[in-house]
């Protein structure tokens, strides 16, 4: 399969180049050049298949031989070492729980798959690649765990000092081995600027192969298609009418939504999508007006989607050949205030005994408000409620339990390098390793 650059559709790269580069030199994003359609027989037989079987079939089809089949099978089994259950919350309304992986957010799926692809390409050429990540929460933990122990890959996580809670920090700072945690005496923007400088440093890049693990990497998007298929398979198993399936997706950088659109292109019956926003409603605003107007993000209780300039917007546009009319035929959107999100968390718990995090609650509430008669709705629940315990406990006015899988991280030994902000320190550190 060839991958084209959204800024310059005549520019093609291989899967390996797309994964290694992350984004094109001109800032464009990579997308598969012709998305293959799965045979209808496959869709009809999905009900009998496991998550791993469905994912392997979809991946083999989408990658078109770019990764050896046996290797790909191992990658899929390792990526999806946890279940992605579809839970019925209310009549015709389901939550797809994407958070049963090691760091309990849906980012585990993309990060684990990318870790393996990167390791596969690096070891194939006997190289070592260094992955630089800046994080203020979920992505650092998911990437570090997804890449942990993988041959040929080193991960350097930069994060602002004192900005993360102990649990967030522990998810990457207690791993050791090929994962290095650096707390920076500065802000998240300082961390990002240090990484940007490293990428622009031609001399450094002659001695170290650098790559980024940002969600714009196609390797993180591809595996996110799998669970859309698995959700429909689980509906089939329950005997639902799958011609009327609507997905409600909490939207940050729009990676999850882009993966859903790609799954639909591959032939998965999805009637439409609902984009669920918080007060950072840049995409919802676009759907309502046709104007894409990025702006500074404001903090909300659904903080993982506090994004002011959704990066995958370029992919959504490209997938619909730039047609606003085509986009709004498939995707509708709505935004909730913090107060509405909080009320939704409480309502879901009181009325349905369903405990969910602020992002899942946003998607479920917006689904509820928009589902038409005859439709079946699936909301993506992207994080375990305990990852956003403050917001959930405030909404419920009671404490919630933290699962042992998360507490485990706190039992490890914290191993952190402290660094001043500014590129010089990072450069010195990278060259000394
Ligand atoms: C990253 C994240 C999102 C947003 O996903 P995108 O693919 O960036 O739109 C939603 N929920 C949670 C919990 C996240 O960590």
Model confidence at 424: pLDDT above 90:
yes
Cα 431 to ligand 1 centroid, rounded to whole Å? 33
CB atoms within 10 A of CB 423: 17
Best of 107, 254, 284, 305 for a ligand 1 pocket test (most atoms within 8 Å of beta carbon): 305
Best of 164, 252, 333, 406 for a ligand 1 pocket test (most atoms within 8 Å of beta carbon): 252
Contact 268, 43 (CB under 8 A): yes
Cα 369 to ligand 1 centroid, rounded to whole Å? 21
Among 176, 115, 96, 107, which Cα is nearest to 135's? 107
Residue 359 CB–ligand 1 contact under 6 Å: yes
- The DSSP call for residue 372 is P
Classify residue 397 by burial, with Cβ atoms within 10 Å: 0-12, 13-18, 19+.
exposed
Closest Cα to atom 14, ligand 1: which residue? 304
Contact 246, 376 (CB under 8 A): yes
Classify residue 59 by burial, with Cβ atoms within 10 Å: 0-12, 13-18, 19+.
buried
**What pLDDT is recorded for position 270?**
98
Residue 329 tokens read as 């035929």
Residue 105 CB–ligand 1 contact under 6 Å: yes
Classify residue 292 by burial, with Cβ atoms within 10 Å: 0-12, 13-18, 19+.
middle
Contact 133, 159 (CB under 8 A): no
Specify the 3-state DSSP secondary structure of 250.
strand
**What's the pLDDT tens digit per position in 126-185?**
999 999 999 987 789 999 999 999 999 999 999 999 888 888 899 999 999 999 999 999
Closest Cα to atom 7, ligand 1: which residue? 255
Cα 187 to ligand 1 centroid, rounded to whole Å? 21
Q: Which atom of ligand 1 is nearest to the CA of 251?
A: 9
**Which stretches within 100-245 are classed as H helix?**
107-124, 138-147, 166-173, 188-200, 202-207, 218-221, 226-237
Residue 252 CB–ligand 1 contact under 6 Å: yes
**What pLDDT is recorded for position 433?**
79
**What pLDDT is recorded for position 315?**
97
Contact 134, 195 (CB under 8 A): yes
Average pLDDT, the chain: 95
Cα 225 to ligand 1 centroid, rounded to whole Å? 14
Residue 138 CB–ligand 1 contact under 6 Å: yes
Residue 134 CB–ligand 1 contact under 6 Å: no
Q: Is the dihedral angle over the CA atoms 348, 354, 359, 365 positive or is it negative?
A: negative
Please state the rounded mean pLDDT for residues 87-102: 97
Find the length of the chain.
Answer: 433
**What's the pLDDT tens digit per position in 201-251?**
999 999 999 988 877 899 999 999 999 999 999 999 999 989 999 999 999
| Element of type H or E holding 319 | helix 313-319
Q: Can you tell me the distance from the alpha carbon of 432 to that of 142, in angstroms, rounded to the nearest whole number?
A: 26
**What pLDDT is recorded for position 242?**
94
Q: Can you tell me the distance from the alpha carbon of 142 to that of 113, in angstroms, rounded to the nearest whole number?
A: 11
Contact 304, 137 (CB under 8 A): yes
Q: Which residue has the tokens 């409600």?
A: 248
Are β-strands 8-13 and 3-5 bridged in parallel, bridged antiparallel, or unpaired? antiparallel
Model confidence at 95: pLDDT above 80:
yes
Among 306, 246, 237, 249, which Cα is nearest to 98's? 249
- The residues facing 88 across adjacent strands are 94
| Element of type H or E holding 10 | strand 8-13
Residue 66 tokens read as 């770019």
**What's the pLDDT tens digit per position in 300-352?**
999 999 999 999 999 999 999 999 999 999 999 999 999 999 999 999 999 99
Calculate ∠ Cα 117-305-338, nearest 5°.
155
Please state the rounded mean pLDDT for residues 21-38: 91
Residue 224 CB–ligand 1 contact under 6 Å: no
Residue 178 CB–ligand 1 contact under 6 Å: no
- The DSSP call for residue 377 is E
Q: Which domains does the chain have, with CATH numbers?
A: 108-216+408-432 (3.40.50.1100)
Percent of the chain surpassing pLDDT 70:
100
**Structure confidence at residue 34 as a pLDDT band (50, 70, 90):** confident
Q: Give 407's Cβ-side CA count (13 Å radius).
A: 4
């Amino acid at each position: 399969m060839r991958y084209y650059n959204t800024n310059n559709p005549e520019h093609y790269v291989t899967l390996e180049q797309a994964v290694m580069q992350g984004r094109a030199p001109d800032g464009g994003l990579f997308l598969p050049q012709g998305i293959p359609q799965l045979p209808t027989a496959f869709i009809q037989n999905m009900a009998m298949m496991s998550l791993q079987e469905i994912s392997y079939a979809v991946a083999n089809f989408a990658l078109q031989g770019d990764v050896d089949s046996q290797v790909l099978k191992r990658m899929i089994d390792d990526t999806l070492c946890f279940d992605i259950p579809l839970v019925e919350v209310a009549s015709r309304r389901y939550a797809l729980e994407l958070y049963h992986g090691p760091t309990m957010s849906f980012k585990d799926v993309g990060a684990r798959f990318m870790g393996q692809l990167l390791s596969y390409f690096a070891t194939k050429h006997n190289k070592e690649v260094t992955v630089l990540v800046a994080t203020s929460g979920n992505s650092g933990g998911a990437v570090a765990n997804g890449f942990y122990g993988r041959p040929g890959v080193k991960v350097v996580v930069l994060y602002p000092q004192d900005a993360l809670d102990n649990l967030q920090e522990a998810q990457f700072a207690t791993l050791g081995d090929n994962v290095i945690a650096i707390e920076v005496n500065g802000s998240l923007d300082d961390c990002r600027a240090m990484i940007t400088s490293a990428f622009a440093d031609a001399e450094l890049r002659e001695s170290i192969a650098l790559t980024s693990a940002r969600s714009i990497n196609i390797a993180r998007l591809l595996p996110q298609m799998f669970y859309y298929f698995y959700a429909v398979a689980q509906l089939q198993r329950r005997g639902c009418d799958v011609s009327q399936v609507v997905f409600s997706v909490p939207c940050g950088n729009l990676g999850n939504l882009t993966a859903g659109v790609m799954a639909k292109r591959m032939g998965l019956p999805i009637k439409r999508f609902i984009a669920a926003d918080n007060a950072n409603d840049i995409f919802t605003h676009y759907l309502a007006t046709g104007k894409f107007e990025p702006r500074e993000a404001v903090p909300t209780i659904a903080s993982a989607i506090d994004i002011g300039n959704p990066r995958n917007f370029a992919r959504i546009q490209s997938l619909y050949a730039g047609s606003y009319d085509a986009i709004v035929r498939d995707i509708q959107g709505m935004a909730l205030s913090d107060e509405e999100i909080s009320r939704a968390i409480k309502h879901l718990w009181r009325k349905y005994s369903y405990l969910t995090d602020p992002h899942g609650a946003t998607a479920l509430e917006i689904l509820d408000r928009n589902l038409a008669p005859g439709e079946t709705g699936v909301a993506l629940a992207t994080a375990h409620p305990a990852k956003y315990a403050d917001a959930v406990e405030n909404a419920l006015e009671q404490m919630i339990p933290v699962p042992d899988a998360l507490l485990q991280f706190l039992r490890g030994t914290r191993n952190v390098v402290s660094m001043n902000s500014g590129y010089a320190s990072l450069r010195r550190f990278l060259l000394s390793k």
